[in-house]
């Protein structure tokens, strides 16, 4: 049955503002505005009248995010135990941080009793950066030994040679993308992070510049923009400013579609991961549990495809009264509450239609695009 709202008359923004000013008495509405930068001021009250056309969702398909957990892999046996504990506790993806490129025996030990075709399989650290192709070749060997098709595996490599290296072997990258496209079609082979985390606008601009650089340099070597875009992942840092972080993710997605349009590539939303920096946590460990929840909400409402929540005692393990396994469990459970009980993963673009967030998204996107176009 369709609800009938005809008995509720439409109220204009001006009518609302008159009532708000009356309720505020002697206080100015300007005192409630949020000044984010020299050019961005967020008003405390937004209304449908502010939008010539009603806002539309970024997507019409619900897309549950992947609950991921970081696994330090210096000790393969200990890493495997930690990984199994994470999976048994409800993790859906694992990110192994490799200090060096593993051999087949080490990779086999890391993934012992783990079904890599059922989870997100991610690799980071010096072991990826030094030779990503060798790691993928080993993964292909392991899959073959287990009777798995590499096309059934999904995941990513935290590899971004252009971030701080002015000399990049783009021919190697072109060959790597060809190999990944043919053998690991569900893998992101380049993971981009902002060069610095000085705020959402700079984060967005940094990712756009890096992503566009890969499109440009690889197009010169015959790799189509569609293929490049299909194997990029964008990893955004999540901070404490709840609405700001939601808008950051949504604004970046919008602008990446602009980039693809310029390159005449299919308009496919980018794969986005979200992570916390330990600097956002305080010495009050239990407050960090609450902070982690609101930050996680920002990430998933903004549309992150993969989220890693830091344990509440990250960087402060010596001050914790409980074993580290407890902190990792709570970090997973934060996401379980949002995904399984709150159902945020069942909604397409949860922030769509919120005039306040929609306006903030547009303001961030506008400033970031202007800054990007200067480069």
Which residue's entry shows tokens 């204009």? 12
Q: Is 372 helix (H, G, I), strand (E, B) or coil?
A: helix
Domain boundaries, the chain: 66-311+320-373
Percent of the chain residues past pLDDT 70, beyond the cut: 98
**Token duo for residue 223:** 């790799």
Query: For residues 324 and 313, is the Cβ–Cβ distance under 8 A?
Result: yes
User: Is beta strand 186-188 parallel, antiparallel or unpaired with respect to 154-157?
Assistant: parallel
Q: Can you give the pLDDT at residue 314?
A: 84
Superfamily the domain 66-311+320-373 falls into = Methylmalonyl-CoA mutase (3.20.20.240)
Segments of the chain assigned E as strands:
34-35, 41-42, 66-72, 93-97, 120-124, 154-157, 186-188, 190-192, 232-238, 271-276, 306-308
For the chain, state the CA radius of gyration: 22
pLDDT, tens only, 174-231: 999 999 999 999 999 999 999 876 788 999 999 999 999 999 999 999 999 999 999 9
Give the distance from CA 102 to its chain's centroid.
27
- 10-residue averages of pLDDT along the chain (375 residues): 72 90 85 79 86 88 92 97 97 97 96 97 95 96 97 96 82 96 97 84 94 96 96 94 94 97 96 88 88 95 96 82 89 95 91 92 94 88
pTM of the model: 0.93
pLDDT, tens only, 19-55: 998 898 878 888 888 887 777 888 888 888 888 888 8
Orientation of helix 200-219 relative to helix 242-262, angle to 10°: 20
């Amino acid at each position: 049955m369709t609800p009938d709202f005809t008995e509720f008359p439409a109220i204009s923004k001006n009518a609302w503002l008159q009532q708000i000013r009356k309720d505020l008495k002697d206080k100015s509405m300007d005192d409630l505005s949020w000044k984010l930068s020299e050019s961005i001021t967020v008003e405390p009250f937004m209304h449908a009248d502010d939008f010539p056309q009603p806002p539309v969702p970024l997507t019409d398909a619900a897309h549950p995010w992947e609950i991921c957990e970081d696994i330090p892999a210096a000790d393969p046996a200990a890493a495997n135990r930690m990984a199994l504990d994470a999976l048994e506790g409800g993790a859906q993806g694992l990110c192994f941080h490799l200090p060096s490129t593993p051999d087949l025996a080490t990779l086999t030990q890391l993934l012992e009793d783990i079904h890599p075709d059922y989870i997100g399989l991610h690799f980071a650290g010096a072991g990826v950066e030094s030779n990503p192709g060798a790691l993928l070749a080993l993964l292909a060997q392991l899959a073959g030994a287990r009777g798995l098709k590499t096309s059934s595996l999904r995941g990513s490599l935290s590899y971004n040679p252009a971030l701080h290296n002015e000399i990049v072997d783009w021919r190697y990258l072109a060959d790597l993308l060809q190999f990944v496209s043919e053998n690991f079609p569900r893998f992101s082979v380049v993971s981009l992070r902002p060069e610095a985390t000085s705020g959402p606008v700079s984060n967005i601009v940094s990712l756009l510049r890096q992503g566009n650089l890969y499109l440009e340099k690889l197009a010169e070597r015959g790799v189509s923009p569609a293929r490049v875009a299909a194997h990029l992942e964008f990893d955004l840092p999540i901070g404490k400013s709840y609405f700001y972080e939601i808008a950051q993710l949504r604004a970046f997605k919008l602008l990446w579609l602009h980039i693809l349009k310029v390159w005449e590539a299919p308009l496919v939303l980018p794969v986005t991961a979200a992570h916390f920096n330990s600097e956002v946590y305080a010495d009050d460990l239990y407050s960090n549990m609450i902070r982690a929840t609101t930050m996680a909400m920002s990430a998933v409402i903004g549309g992150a495809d993969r989220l890693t929540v830091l344990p509440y005692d990250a960087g402060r393990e010596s001050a914790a009264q409980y074993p580290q396994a407890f902190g990792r469990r709570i970090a997973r459970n934060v996401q379980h509450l949002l995904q399984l009980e709150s159902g945020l993963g069942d909604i397409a673009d949860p922030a769509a239609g919120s005039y306040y967030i929609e306006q903030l998204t547009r303001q961030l996107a506008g400033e970031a695009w202007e800054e990007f176009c200067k480069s």
